[in-house]
Amino acid sequence: MRFDVFSLFPQVFQPYLDISILKRAIQNDLIQVHTHNIRDWATDKHHTTDDTPYGGGGGMVMKAEPIFAAVEDVLGAPPSCPVVLLCPQGKRFDQQMARELAAFDRLALICGRYEAFDDRIREHLATHVISIGDFVLTGGELPALILMDAVGRLVPGVLGDEDATQDDSFSSEGLLEYPQWTKPAEFRGWTVPEVMQNGNLAEQLKWKREQALIRTLENRPDLLRNATLSEKDQEFLARYINQKFEESQSMEE
């Protein structure tokens, strides 16, 4: 997987790429990250990459010319791979989108700054417009790192274990991941549940599934609308919800 990142501040990326799993993936040539400074394609003496918006309004708008020139110079015209514009107006990034993007051999990421992009970049250059959430940052560099991390860890061999991502939150039929513990079994009086220590794999798998259902219900109930739920899952959730209702009623009495 190769990432080509177009940014006004390409130096932001290297410190994060120089540590941990992504560093090892880059060293093993499983991932390549090439950063490109958009200013290098600005043609005026001040290397201008922004200008005032038509119609007035606050802030500056990133110019179309240097971004088109940078992307097409590196990737060809039309670009030879998906071009991702990181923008608050885009589709919200999620695990399913990460899996879809991980199927490509190469991705281009355009990081914004200032108030906005010239909309011709979105309309005529980008193939994907992606937001990492319902908030606004000062630039697209952090979203680009988040996307590269989420997509990169799905590249075969990056995590070492091909099954390592199967139980991730949002990956196991759309549910949040179940709770996990490690040694020691007791810490400050808090103990690991007995079922996770008894060695009974069938009981542990059942417990993990139920805990994933509970955690999703309590923290992200919206995910249950599209989750893959068996009849047993639905029966368990109904019993759990009924139990919680009865407990709340008894506390009020």
CATH of the domain at 111: 3.40.1280.10
Per-residue buried b or exposed e for 118-152, using 16+ beta carbons within 10 Å of the residue's own CB: beebbeebbebbbbbeeeeeebbbebbbbbbebbb
Residue with structure tokens 């802030």? Answer: 59
- Tell me the CA distances in angstroms from 144 to 3, 9, 44, 134, one per residue in order: 10, 12, 27, 16
pLDDT for res 129:
96
Quote the longest CA-to-CA distance of the chain.
Answer: 76
Bigger pLDDT: 51 vs 115: 51
User: How confident is the model over 4-49, as pLDDT tens digits?
Assistant: 999 999 999 999 999 989 999 999 999 999 999 999 999 999 999 9
Q: Is residue 173 part of a domain?
A: no
Is residue 225, in this structure, part of any structural domain at all? yes
Dihedral, CA atoms, 39, 45, 46, 52, nearest 10 degrees?
-90
Q: In the prediction, which pLDDT does 47 show?
A: 94
Can you tell me the distance from the alpha carbon of 156 to that of 103, in angstroms, rounded to the nearest whole number?
10
218 and 142 in one domain?
no
pLDDT digits (tens, 9 = 90+) for 194-216: 999 999 999 999 999 999 999 99
- Considering the domain architecture, whether residues 25 and 132 belong to the same structural domain is answered as yes
Please tell me the predicted confidence (pLDDT) of residue 170: 60
Q: What is the pLDDT of residue 230?
A: 95
> What residues act catalytically?
88, 115, 153, 168
Predicted pLDDT of residue 252: 77
Identify the pLDDT of residue 92.
95
Q: How many CB atoms lie within 10 A of CB 179?
A: 14
SS3 63: coil
* pLDDT of 89 strictly over 60: yes
Evaluate if pTM is beyond 0.75: yes
Specify the range with the lowest mean pLDDT, choosing from 58-72, 75-89, 92-106, 150-164: 150-164
What is the distance between the alpha carbons of residues 22 and 35, in angstroms, rounded to a whole number? 15
Examine residue 103 and state whether it is found in any structural domain, yes or no. Answer: yes
Which residue is it, tokens 């005032």? 52
Q: What is the pLDDT of residue 27?
A: 96
Q: What is the CATH number of the domain that holds 199?
A: 1.10.1270.20
Sign of the CA dihedral with 22 first, then 154, 146, and 221 last: negative
Q: Domain check: are 59 and 143 in the same one?
A: yes
Give yes or no: residues 131 and 201 share one domain: no
pLDDT range class, residue 251, cuts 50, 70, 90: confident
Q: How far apart are CA 100 and CA 149, in angstroms?
A: 14
**Average model confidence (pLDDT) across the chain:** 93
pLDDT for 109: 98
Residues 132 and 205 in one domain: no
Contact between residue 6 and residue 38 where contact means Cβ atoms under 8 Å apart:
yes
In a domain, 22, yes or no: yes
- Residue given tokens 């249950």 in the structure block: 224
In a domain, 169, yes or no: no
Q: Is 23 a member of any domain?
A: yes
Tell me, what's the pLDDT at 173? 74
Q: Are residues 136 and 242 in the same domain?
A: no
Distance CA 6, CA 3 (A): 10
pLDDT at 65: 97
Written as six digits, the tokens of 133 are 């959430």
Are 136 and 218 found together in one domain? no
Q: CA gyration radius for the chain?
A: 23
pLDDT bin (cut points 50, 70, 90) of residue 217 is very high
Residue 163, token pair as written in the block? 């099954």
Range of the domain at 207: 186-252
Q: Report pLDDT for 171.
A: 56
User: Using one digit for the tens of pLDDT, what is the confidence trace for 123-172?
Assistant: 999 999 999 999 999 999 999 999 999 999 999 999 976 555 555 666 55
Write the CA distances from 50 to 7, 54, 165, integer angstroms: 13, 12, 40
